[in-house]
Structure 1
Amino acid sequence: MFGTYTRLNLTTSASNCDVIRAARLKIAEHHRTGREARAARHRFYRDMLFYHERSRALVGEWRL
């Protein structure tokens, strides 16, 4: 999943809303609105936010 996060092409200064917007574009159009894929879609968004927060922490720790 980290590979998918890196392909979002976001900086660590991007907001959480920016992460969700970019991640939404990575999901196939017919899976964006279906009720049957809702749980998987939310899990995907949470994973992207988790990796974004880890990237922010890394930048903050090393002051990159």
Structure 2
Amino acid sequence: MIVLQHIIKRFEQNRIYPEKEVNGILKTIYSDFATIKRYLIEYNFMERSKDCTEYWIKD
């Protein structure tokens, strides 16, 4: 959880990110960016659109 709290700081509040940009940001942290992205969603740090093309920080 502490690591995820640190990672989420790389994203801005009130901004919608396309999936490609989220992947790019997370790739700079760890090569398995899909796992990090999944954890950010599962632990309610981020939300995503139903088609998984847009992501944002959860309020």
With normalisation by structure 1, the TM-score equals 0.45
Higher RCO, Cα 8 Å, sep 6+: 1
> Greater share of helix residues, 1 or 2?
1
With normalisation by structure 2, the TM-score equals 0.47
Looking at CA atoms only, which structure, 1 or 2, has the larger radius of gyration?
1
> Greater share of strand residues, 1 or 2?
2
